[in-house]
Structure 1
């Protein structure tokens, strides 16, 4: 029988030391294990929880390791990390069980490693009231929400302390699974009823008319409702994109960065299988995800092709009525789902991606018809990738104007005086940015 904690350590090793994506490696490991569902739940909890709080966990561990964490064996370090996570952040696991399991895991590595793990974890338990951060407001915030200092400072500088705290809190929430109803195969009420009949506890979405929140229930992608194409798993922030594009029957749409296809297929559904969507991606293998999604959903109006959105293609000059550019970005808005982003990104990554985004935006401006719309979106909260890019573009291209967007008065939706929208992350929605640009002549 597989051990849930051992698998958790293996996953952490892949994510932290081999730059694997947490969601992908977790799914692969769990699907190939013989764990019971309850043990799979524990593995998932430990992996995401340890990644979420790793900044603070490492601060704690540094106090109990003579030479700090940097010189420690990576496998032993990850055992210590899951140990501290369980002892400090989980109430449901008895302390002795958490310590003993970690010691047993370390024994498989080395006798010395198991002694170290035992000593560190028991020392931690003896110092439960210890303060692990310097006595400054910034250090306290970084430790409490477990975010690196540079990233915490970025949010405070760009949003102010109050909204920065909301962002940090929101990015630590366990995300709700949300599904989008496929209007090509059924209506909202029918699919709502089927989900309940299949044992799901559900709620209406926060803002999107096609959204249903899965409060409780088994893996949705294993369900016949999903397999038959009645629904798609998609975050509600991402659902707003297609519905903001003023989709009309029989128009031409370009989606320049389409994989894995969630927004592409939503556009197709709103087109009611009329018109044409030309969906591109730089990676051929990722286009197969779009194709698979479209096939499952019964969509017939998507044309797929490999293309680098940064390179201008004359054949698409003034070709499209609508263009979606969900541009590559730093991903700071989806840390709820990929907590390793806290540690894999740095300031230089944020700077370098901006030139890519601007090239894509410039090309899109040449592809759209007069009176056509470009929808610019990102899943980041870095204003330099968002508002600053739009300000730059409008200054360079006065033939475009920003069309103001309004989604209602939800607390986490922020409107600026330009007319663009930032969605702050919460339990239901990823951090997101949307700007709607209309070509006037």
Structure 2
């Protein structure tokens, strides 16, 4: 059986992500289905995600050595150069000559023979001289943008919202890869049993930063090959997302509606907390997303959770005033999860942020009707953008019969502060030890 050409596979994925605006995690998942070799999977993943993450930095380097600017190149040439420069600059174990030779082979194979000399020349010049490149002032917006490979408008926004020093911490964290975080389904297995199972399969396991049921896994190629995963003992989920289940404060026999649930991590967490009692009504907008939820339900084996297709902006009259708890983890800019989804920053626009805010408010308005009197609405996002977070929360409580309620007693002590006493938590990557995330706990009416 012929071994696949990992660089050909990688450049096609990169083109799909950076030129066609396809989502990186979906492109990788689909593209790796037919790649069995562990080393190949690891190489492709690092090369694709690294190139995507560093695209702005890579373009700056290429433009220093090319008469044709990257933005004017053909998509194959642009992304092949990006991928090759990533290997030269960031992957020390690969000989520079091999990088250049493989790039030229791909150019010729794709019928761009006349550009093979151009590609070869640019790459060999970069390999010789990239360490002598001068960069803009590291405290300037342009300099920060190039160093951390982040669009200038996002850099400006982070500086405005959090200050220069925190902006750098946030962007530096976005380039750190810290393993896969999972949550133990404690009604299915003990934490010690899960750790033993994982270590028996060669996984390096460390405890989470905030929650006992959180584990951080390293030395792992494919989570779907783990016994603990296939038996439903663990669920991939960042600790920040796990805190939604904590802040919800659900009690046995509660009826919970999760209006934007896919892939189902929060719903399954709540089903676990409910300990096979109550019911979790897990929803999302498309068959594709609901299939993801159902896959996780089937794998974990929870019987107190069901999934269905439903648009969170459309009122479901049958659910009016019925839920003890409603979870509204709304579509957002994703500025808190750039670490794991490095392509988000290229897809976002300032106009898009305003459109998101409108969608979020529509979902909040609709979801609030499902909460019974005295019940709880949890509003959450995976962003650090104040307009989507605290400003939406303030708008909501000014216009609807809900009040913020302290979440101090529901959170680990280390996370408690003046904001959590008021009823909301803003986590910021690079400052807190998890993804950027926002959670607000709102109670309807009076008890």
State the TM bucket, normalised to the shorter chain.
Answer: over 0.9
Q: Determine the structure 2 residue equivalent to 1:24.
A: 26
Name the structure 1 match of 2:102.
101
Distance 1:96 1:44 in 2: 22
Q: Is 1:422 the equivalent of 2:423?
A: no
Maintained 8 Å contact 2:197/2:227: no
Give SS of 1:436's match. strand
1:170–1:424 Cα contact (<8 Å) kept: no
Match of 1:243 among 231, 242, 246: 246
- Comparing 347-356 and 183-192, the one that deviates more: 183-192
Q: Per-residue deviation at 1:125?
A: 3.0
Contact 2:406–2:420 (8 Å) recurs in 1: no
Counterpart in 2 of 1:119?
121
Equivalent residue, structure 2, for 1:351: 354
What corresponds to 2:319 in structure 1?
Answer: 316
Alpha carbons of 1:194 and 1:134: their partners in 2 closer, same or farther (altered >3 Å)? closer
Once the two structures are superposed, what CA deviation does each residue of 1:351-398 show, in whole Å capped at 9, x if it has no partner?
A: 101111111111222221222111111111111111110111122235
The 1:41–1:312 alpha-carbon spacing in structure 2 relative to 1, beyond 3 Å, is: same
Structure 2: distance between partners of 1:331 and 1:230: 27
Q: Given the superposition, is the C-alpha separation of residues 39 and 292 from structure 1 closer, same or farther in structure 2, using an over 3 Å criterion? A: closer
Q: In 1, are the aligned partners of 2:13 and 2:28 still within 8 Å (CA)?
A: yes
SS in 2 for 1:2: coil
Unaligned regions of 5+ residues in structure 1, if any? none
* Distance in 1 separating the partners of 2:402 and 2:17: 45
Equivalent of 2:331, from 318, 324, 328? 328
Structure 1 residue 303: Cα displacement: 2.7
Partners of 1:258 and 1:400 in 2: how far apart? 24
Q: Offset of 1:131 from its aligned partner?
A: 1.3
Residues in 1 aligned to 2:137 and 2:217: alpha-carbon distance in whole angstroms: 41
TM-score norm. by structure 2 comes to 0.93
The CA deviation string for residues 188-210 of structure 1, in whole angstroms up to 9 with x for no partner, is 12222222222221011111221
Output the CA distance in 2 between the equivalents of 1:135 and 1:382: 23
The aligned residue for residue 216 of structure 1 is 219
Alignment partner of 2:202: what SS? Answer: coil
Instruction: Name the CA distance, whole Å, in 2 between partners of 1:177 and 1:342.
Output: 21
Question: Is residue 2:77 matched to residue 1:72?
Answer: no
Q: Specify the alignment match of 2:161 in structure 1.
A: 158
The alignment status of 1:170 with 2:151, answered yes or no, reads no
CA contact (8 A) 1:401 1:439 kept: no
CA deviations on 1:288-309 (whole Å, 9 max, x unpaired) are 2212211211211123222211
Equivalence for 1:392: 395
SS at match of 2:363: helix
Is the contact between residue 208 and residue 236 of structure 1 (CA under 8 Å) also seen in structure 2? Answer: yes
Find the aligned partners of 1:361 and 1:172 in 2 and give their Cα distance.
32
Question: Hey, what's the Cα distance between the residues in 2 that align with 1:416 and 1:210?
Answer: 21
Structure 1 residues 139 and 99: CA distance shift in structure 2, 3 A = same
Alpha-carbon distance in structure 1 between the residues aligned to 2:141 and 2:81: 26
Matched residues, number: 439
